[in-house]
């Protein structure tokens, strides 16, 4: 019997169908969420489309790599991510209703983790046209770098190859002491450990390296040659990262982590055991190295965002180098290196920094450097001890003035207290040839809390109101306490954009540098010395052949000129000082000149890359009425060729070839017997009138990376002097100067290492 349905029954039926439909819709509306990360580095990948197939769903990741999908049908599906520069990612997956809101992490693998990354000219810094900026991440993998970003500076045009195991940087024919080293704008005594094998900062602690040569701006001073500036990075703010490495020369590691949503920390350190490696070759009679170095360093970087406009950063750096004898007797019984030998160089710096971004686009930066330097030298009975406690301060304000002007004003100040103890014979050297120690007079000096200070102010205006032109004019004012002098140094520069791919720039200025403390000491120096000065002129053109792409060549080339006066040179004259006739020791009779042409060609033709660096130069000196002679640091030709190729499976091979003219030296024509001291005195020929054989060396490097989900393992094999060419680095004379022996440089040096990072 069929019963009729009333209004109430119809309502119940309709409601039942609605509830069933709603339940079905809810069951199908599953929520998927996750993060897209770079495989191996766990770096979040933002602004990347993620697809769910076959449902044709799409989501875009945010800055943290996060993505969300709603209303995903229950059951099996497939993840698909296809992003430029990465391998295509596909993975089958499924989702049940009870698994909703479960987070997935997708790991996207880069096509290559071995991209050959060369120098990047800092175009963002419009204040400085003659500054070359090296990205730390991009420079660390260059062949011959030994996994050290700062060593890439040695491949730039204008940078001379220093002989042997020297750790200095010689810029455009100037003396090593004419180069100044900075970390976050504060001076440090050295930037490389002994031998130049490694810098005093881990490359992972660096953001960039600044190389300033002829024509650099007014914000820095006190260096006639140029400046090398290392800038520390901001520690990781997203996730905890770290690494550890070990190779044949040293081992180390670091960790960086966010402390909270506004602060982060980096802590790292290294310890070398290069001395143990050197000991293995001491028995080689052709290897004239009798002392083995060791070094270690530590670094700490703390950064905190105080407000939306204020940032605080604290950098702490410690470095120690030590050099000791390995054997009792040196090659040919060299009397200069007989007995107990010990040398130590150490420093510590604490650099607090504060910056504020103003609402009008201006920026204020204030920082200080607090630290101590320590140098100790002992050779038999000869002893030198120096401890310096120093404070440096720096402040700068940069602001726009309208749309066409930008003004920078700043100051820097240094104050130091030194304790010095000296009990040694005068290591008299002329023309690079030293007299035997036994023929010189003994010097004794003891100074306690001797103070010295410098004060500088600078300003620079940048004008861009004329189309295709950039003009900058600056003035630097310095006071040097050691000489009680005030110097004003104007510096100007121009840049002309000839086309979208071609530019021309010119810079010139005056530069002053105070004498070294020992040169102005009343005991062993000359307190009446004046500050050396130099005139710089630099011209350069740049042509970008890439035509708007990222493949092709970029050429930078141009001449430079430097003229120096009042250079400090040794003096054998006597002067009347305060009514007492005494040795002058040093004078300002030196003059110098350097002229040259630089060529820098960089090419990227992925997977191939190349780098050509060439300098043609001539550096001369004149002193004490002598005729002009070639400088000790003159290198007529300096060529560096670098090439690299990315291979499959994250393999990479790179090579470096260097050719440099032989270093000039002063020949010794004979020796005269000094019966009073029972030794021979060298008779010198014309200063630096002869040259050693040209230097050439081929380096080769292999890198292999294994990329895991959460970490990367890298193995590297860096072979320096792969052809084992024994270059002449110096000359040793017999005790009576009747015979001589070439001092050979390092033989083939293979460096095998591994590095793990997460």
Nearest Cα to 197, choosing from 292, 280, 267?
Answer: 292
1 occurs within a structural domain: no
For residue 365, give both structure tokens: 């930066």
Strand partners, 301: 266, 315
What 3 state SS string does 692-724 have? CCCEEEEEEEEEEEEECCCCEEEEEEEEECCCC
Handedness of CA 125, 131, 135, 136 (dihedral sign): negative
Q: Are residues 82 and 168 in the same domain?
A: no
* Predicted local confidence at residue 117, as pLDDT: 41
Q: Which residue has the tokens 């920026």?
A: 363
Measured distance CA(521)–CA(518) in Å, rounded? 5
Q: What is the pLDDT of the chain when averaged over all its residues?
A: 87
Q: Which residue has the tokens 């509830």?
A: 19
Please tell me which residue, 194 or 715, carries the higher pLDDT value: 715
Average pLDDT, stretch 640-666?
93
Q: How confident is the model at residue 325 (pLDDT cuts 50, 70, 90)?
A: low
Burial class (CB in 10 A: 0-12, 13-18, 19+), 455: middle
Q: How confident is the model at residue 127 (pLDDT cuts 50, 70, 90)?
A: low
Would you give the DSSP letter of residue 139? H
* Predicted local confidence at residue 3, as pLDDT: 42
Q: Are residues 158 and 81 in the same domain?
A: no
Nearest Cα to 196, choosing from 160, 239, 227, 151?
Answer: 151
The CA distances from residue 306 to 232, 236, 261, 312, in Å, are: 19, 17, 11, 7
Convert the pLDDT of each residue in 247-269 to its tens digit. 988 999 999 999 999 999 999 99
Cis peptide bond prior to 617, omega within 30° of 0? no
Measured distance CA(109)–CA(710) in Å, rounded? 11
Percent of the chain with pLDDT over 70: 88
Convert the pLDDT of each residue in 150-165 to its tens digit. 888 889 999 999 887 7
Where residue 87 sits, what CATH number does that domain have? 2.60.40.1120
- Contact predicate 195/293, CB 8 Å: yes
Q: Are residues 37 and 171 in the same domain?
A: no
- Contact predicate 97/27, CB 8 Å: yes
Would you give the DSSP letter of residue 276? H
121 occurs within a structural domain: no
Q: How confident is the model at residue 645 (pLDDT cuts 50, 70, 90)?
A: very high
The domain boundary, picked from 108, 141, 169, lies at: 108
Q: How confident is the model at residue 31 (pLDDT cuts 50, 70, 90)?
A: confident
Would you give the DSSP letter of residue 155? G
For residue 168, give both structure tokens: 């200095």
Average pLDDT, stretch 620-631?
89
Average pLDDT, stretch 172-178?
94
Q: Are residues 529 and 621 in the same domain?
A: yes
The residue segments making up the domain with residue 69 are: 20-108
- Overall domain count for the chain: 2
Q: Which residue has the tokens 């209703």?
A: 97
- Contact predicate 108/38, CB 8 Å: yes
Measured distance CA(721)–CA(655) in Å, rounded? 11
365 occurs within a structural domain: yes
302 occurs within a structural domain: yes
Q: Are strands 250-258 and 241-247 parallel, antiparallel or unpaired?
A: antiparallel
Q: Are residues 303 and 388 in the same domain?
A: yes
pLDDT beyond 80 at 216? yes
Report residue 269 CA to chain centroid gap: 17
653 occurs within a structural domain: yes
Backbone φ and ψ for 730, nearest 5 degrees, come out as -160, 180
For residue 439, give both structure tokens: 């023929």
Measured distance CA(149)–CA(199) in Å, rounded? 8
Q: Are residues 484 and 604 in the same domain?
A: yes
Measured distance CA(682)–CA(659) in Å, rounded? 32
Q: Are residues 79 and 161 in the same domain?
A: no
Please give the radius of gyration of the chain, using alpha carbons only, rounded to the nearest integer: 32
- Contact predicate 270/252, CB 8 Å: yes
Q: Are residues 672 and 535 in the same domain?
A: yes
Q: Are residues 57 and 202 in the same domain?
A: no
DSSP string over 343-389: EEEEEEEEEEEEEEE-TTS-EEEEEEEEEEEEEEEEETTEEEEEEEE
Nearest Cα to 439, choosing from 732, 683, 682, 674?
Answer: 674
Burial class (CB in 10 A: 0-12, 13-18, 19+), 19: exposed
Nearest Cα to 652, choosing from 60, 57, 140?
Answer: 140
Q: Are residues 161 and 79 in the same domain?
A: no
Where residue 358 sits, what CATH number does that domain have? 2.40.170.20
Convert the pLDDT of each residue in 447-491 to its tens digit. 776 788 999 999 999 999 999 999 999 999 999 999 999 999 999
What does the CA dihedral 281, 287, 293, 297 come to, rounded to 10 degrees?
Answer: -80
Convert the pLDDT of each residue in 390-403 to its tens digit. 999 999 999 999 99
10 occurs within a structural domain: no
Q: Are residues 336 and 265 in the same domain?
A: yes
pTM above 0.95, yes or no: no
Q: Are residues 36 and 147 in the same domain?
A: no
The CA distances from residue 635 to 618, 639, 714, 721, in Å, are: 7, 10, 37, 20
The domain boundary, picked from 76, 108, 140, lies at: 108
The enclosing H or E element of 246 equals strand 241-247
DSSP string over 202-255: -GGGEEEEEEE-TT--TT--S-SSEEEEEEEPPPPSSS-EEEEEEESSEEEEEE
Measured distance CA(83)–CA(106) in Å, rounded? 13
Please tell me which residue, 621 or 424, carries the higher pLDDT value: 621
* Predicted local confidence at residue 24, as pLDDT: 39
* Predicted local confidence at residue 235, as pLDDT: 95
690 occurs within a structural domain: yes
Q: What 3-state class would DSSP assign to 261?
A: coil
Convert the pLDDT of each residue in 735-748 to its tens digit. 889 988 888 888 88
The domain boundary, picked from 59, 93, 108, lies at: 108
Q: What 3-state class would DSSP assign to 24?
A: helix
Measured distance CA(120)–CA(39) in Å, rounded? 26
* Predicted local confidence at residue 422, as pLDDT: 83
Nearest Cα to 656, choosing from 696, 692, 607, 693?
Answer: 696
Would you give the DSSP letter of residue 26? H
- Contact predicate 353/366, CB 8 Å: yes
String of b and e for 694-727 (b: at least 16 CB within 10 Å)? Answer: ebebbbbbbbbbebeeebbebebebbbbbeeeeb
Q: What 3-state class would DSSP assign to 592?
A: strand
500 occurs within a structural domain: yes
Q: What 3-state class would DSSP assign to 28?
A: helix
Q: Residue 204: how many CB atoms within 10 A of its CB?
A: 23
Nearest Cα to 512, choosing from 570, 566, 559, 561?
Answer: 566
């Amino acid at each position: 019997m069929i019963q009729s349905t009333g209004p109430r029954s119809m309502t119940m039926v309709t409601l039942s169908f609605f509830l069933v439909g709603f339940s079905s819709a809810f069951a199908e509306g599953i929520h998927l969420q996750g993060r897209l990360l770079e495989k191996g580095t766990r770096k979040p990948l933002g602004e990347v489309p993620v697809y769910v197939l076959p449902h044709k769903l799409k989501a875009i990741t945010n800055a943290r790599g996060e993505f969300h999908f709603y209303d995903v049908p229950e059951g099996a599906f497939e993840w698909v991510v296809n992003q430029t520069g990465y391998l295509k990612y596909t993975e089958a997956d499924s989702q049940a209703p009870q698994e909703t809101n479960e987070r997935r992490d997708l790991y996207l693998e880069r096509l290559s983790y071995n991209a050959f990354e060369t120098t990047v000219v800092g175009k963002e810094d419009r204040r400085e046209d003659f500054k070359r900026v090296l990205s730390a991440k991009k420079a660390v993998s260059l062949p011959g770098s030994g996994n050290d970003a700062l060593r890439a500076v040695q491949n730039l045009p204008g940078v001379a190859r220093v002989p042997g195991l020297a750790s200095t940087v010689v810029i455009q024919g100037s003396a090593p002491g004419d180069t100044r080293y900075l970390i976050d704008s504060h001076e440090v005594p050295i930037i490389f450990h002994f031998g130049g094998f490694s810098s005093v900062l881990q490359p992972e602690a660096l953001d960039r390296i600044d190389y300033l040569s002829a024509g650099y701006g007014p914000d820095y001073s006190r260096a006639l040659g140029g400046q090398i500036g290392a800038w520390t990075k901001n520690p990781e703010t997203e996730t905890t990262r770290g690494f550890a490495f070990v190779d044949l020369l040293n081992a180390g590691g670091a960790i960086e982590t966010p402390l909270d949503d506004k602060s982060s920390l980096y802590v790292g350190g290294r310890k070398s055991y290069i001395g143990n490696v050197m000991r293995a070759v001491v028995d080689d009679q052709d290897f004239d190295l009798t002392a083995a170095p060791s070094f270690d360093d530590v670094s700490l970087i703390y950064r905190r965002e105080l407000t939306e406009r204020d940032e605080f950063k604290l950098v702490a750096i410690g470095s120690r180098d030590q050099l000791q004898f390995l054997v009792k007797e040196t090659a040919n019984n060299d009397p200069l290196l007989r007995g107990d030998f010990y040398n130590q160089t150490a420093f510590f710096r604490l650099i607090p920094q504060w910056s504020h971004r103003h609402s009008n686009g201006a920026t204020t930066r204030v920082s200080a450097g607090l630290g101590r330097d320590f140098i100790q030298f002992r050779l038999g009975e000869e002893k030198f001890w120096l401890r310096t406690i120093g404070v440096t301060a720096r402040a700068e304000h940069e602001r726009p003035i309208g749309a066409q002007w930008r003004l920078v004003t700043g100051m820097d100040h240094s104050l130091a207290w030194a304790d010095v103890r000296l009990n040694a014979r005068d290591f008299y050297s002329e023309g690079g040839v030293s007299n035997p120690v036994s023929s010189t007079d003994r010097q004794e000096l003891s100074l306690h809390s001797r103070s010295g200070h410098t004060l500088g102010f600078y300003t620079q205006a940048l004008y861009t109101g004329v189309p295709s032109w950039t003009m900058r004019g600056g003035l630097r004012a310095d006071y040097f306490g050691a000489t009680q002098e005030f110097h004003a140094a104007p510096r100007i520069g121009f840049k002309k954009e000839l086309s979208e791919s071609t530019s021309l720039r010119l810079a010139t200025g005056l530069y002053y540098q105070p004498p070294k403390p020992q040169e102005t000491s009343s005991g062993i120096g000359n307190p009446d010395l004046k500050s050396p000065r130099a005139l710089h002129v630099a011209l350069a053109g740049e042509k970008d052949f890439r035509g708007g792409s990222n493949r092709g060549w970029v050429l930078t080339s141009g001449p430079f000129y430097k003229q120096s006066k009042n250079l400090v040179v040794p003096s054998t004259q006597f002067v009347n000082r305060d009514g007492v006739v005494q040795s002058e020791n040093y004078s300002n009779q030196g003059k110098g000149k350097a002229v040259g042409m630089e060529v820098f060609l960089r090419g990227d033709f992925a997977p191939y890359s190349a780098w050509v660096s060439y300098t043609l130069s001539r550096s001369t000196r004149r002193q004490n009425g002598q005729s002009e002679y070639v400088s000790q640091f003159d290198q007529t030709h300096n060529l560096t060729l670098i090439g690299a190729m990315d291979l499959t499976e994250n393999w990479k091979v790179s090579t470096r070839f260097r050719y440099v003219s032989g270093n000039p030296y002063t020949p010794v024509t004979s020796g005269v017997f000094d019966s009073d001291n029972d030794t021979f005195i060298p008779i010198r020929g014309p200063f630096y009138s002869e040259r050693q054989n040209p230097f050439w060396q081929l380096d080769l490097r292999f890198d292999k990376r294994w990329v895991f989900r959460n970490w990367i393992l890298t193995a590297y094999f860096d072979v320096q002097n792969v052809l084992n060419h024994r270059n002449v680095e110096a000359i040793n004379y017999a005790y009576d100067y009747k015979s001589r022996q070439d001092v050979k440089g390092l033989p083939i040096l293979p460096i095998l290492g591994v590095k793990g990072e997460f």
